[in-house]
Structure 1
Amino acid sequence: MTEENYIKAVEANKIPEDDVIGVDVNGYNLAVYNVEGEFFATDNICTHGNAKLCDGFLDGHRIECPLHQGEFDVRSGKACTSPLTEDIKAYPTKVGDDGFIYISMIE
């Protein structure tokens, strides 16, 4: 994956440790997570209901949907608990020298 595949998303210091925020990146509604200083990004809308994951509860590498309490793994987007049956998309991230989180939107 080359540098040009990454899009500047948000300053890393805007996301407290062990928390999540919602961001809009090139028209994509994403959730960006800080888990013990490591950053992850997924689609922000739950596949089970029309709820924003950034409004959910982050516990380690799992985000709990605020609507029906299903959990996704923020590293892979995998649906981990019922009532979820469909994964969310996860995106590669990196932190640049400028302190911003960059997200790759390339499949």
Structure 2
Amino acid sequence: MGCTKPATHWWSSMFNYTAFDESKAEFVEIAPASELPNGERLFVEVGDKPIVIFNIAGQLFAIGDVCSHDEGPLGDGDVEGHNVVCPRHGAEFDIRTGKAVAMPAVVDIPAYPVQVRDGNIFVGIPKE
């Protein structure tokens, strides 16, 4: 009688951003880790990619700084748990994965691997 499949939204598999293989990333040095204290965010551009890096409870996460719904500045939005809320229309994205988790966005955004080495933040960008 019960449904054995987990409930999903109709858009959940339409436009998924597929994370790239971290071993194929080129890691770019961004800034000293001391410049990104807990609860803060750092805006950077790597090549032509606007990226925002979040420090959430000591863990660093990097996502594309452009909402897939209307190209709003995601990094300016509020953070609720591990979600960032676009300040324009309220679309939400998981900063760990880039997954669109609330309408009106249905397209995921890029999420980039982050490393801290020798006290410096590095973000992994797909090799071109």
TM over 0.5, shorter chain: yes
Instruction: Name which one, 1 or 2, has greater alpha-carbon Rg.
Output: 2
Shift of 1:78: 0.1
In structure 2, runs of 5+ residues without a counterpart are 1-22
Which region of structure 1 is more displaced relative to structure 2, 30-39 or 4-13? 4-13
Alignment of 1:23-102 (within 5 A): 23-97=44-118, 99-102=119-122
The ranges of structure 1 where at least 4 consecutive aligned residues each deviate by more than 3 angstroms after the TM superposition are: none
- Give the paired residue count: 105
Shift of 1:60: 1.9
* Coordinate RMSD, CA, aligned: 1.7
Q: Distance in 2 between matches of 1:21 and 1:69?
A: 21
Partner of 1:10: 31
Q: Distance in 2 between matches of 1:71 and 1:21?
A: 19
Q: Distance in 2 between matches of 1:101 and 1:30?
A: 13
Q: Distance in 2 between matches of 1:56 and 1:11?
A: 24
TM-score, normalization by structure 1: 0.88
Q: Secondary structure at the match of 1:54?
A: helix
Q: Secondary structure at the match of 1:80?
A: strand
Structure 1 position 104 matched with structure 2 position 124: yes
Could you list the per-position Cα deviations for residues 32-73 of structure 1 after superposition, in whole angstroms to 9, with x for gaps in the alignment?
Answer: 111100001111010011211111111221111111111100
Q: Secondary structure at the match of 2:126?
A: coil
Letter in 1 for 2:55: N
Letter in 1 for 2:93: F
8 A Cα contact 1:19 1:58, kept in partner: no
Q: Secondary structure at the match of 1:8?
A: strand
Which region of structure 1 is more displaced relative to structure 2, 54-63 or 19-28? 19-28
8 A Cα contact 1:47 1:86, kept in partner: yes
Identity of aligned residues (%): 33
Shift of 1:19: 2.7
TM-score, normalization by structure 2: 0.75
